[in-house]
Amino acid sequence: MIKHFAVIALLALSMYGQDGSRKIAGGGVTVPGWTGKIDANEERTGATLQDAKFAPQGAGGFEVTTGPAVAYWNPANTASGDYTVKATFTEPQSVVSG
């Protein structure tokens, strides 16, 4: 039985491979009740949750700006039994790096 599940798990990837990690100004988790965890490899290099950004946007939405790879979740969101998780992601511009 799954008690907690990651709602959003993101890795910054481009068409041509993985982008390097970067620090995001004004980073951290500012959505009440939510938390996150930096990828273990990036954590070993000194990255922290403050190096990525998870903020509220609009009515019930979120804005995620990744620096290091990170997963975000709200521990109050639990599920048991069979369930389906759906999400819609909108990418405003291409992330193709050349």
The backbone region for 28, taken as left when phi is positive above 0, alpha when psi lies in -120 to 50, beta otherwise, is left
Count how many residues are written for the chain: 98
Q: Is the pTM of this model over 0.85?
A: no
Q: Is 45 helix (H, G, I), strand (E, B) or coil?
A: coil
Amino acid 98: pLDDT: 52
Q: Are 10 and 18 in contact (CB under 8 A)?
A: no
- Mean pLDDT confidence for 56-71: 89
* Single-letter residue type at 32: P
Domain ranges of the chain: 8-73
**Strand 8-10 versus strand 70-73 pairing type:** antiparallel
Confidence band of 10 (pLDDT split at 50, 70, 90) = very low
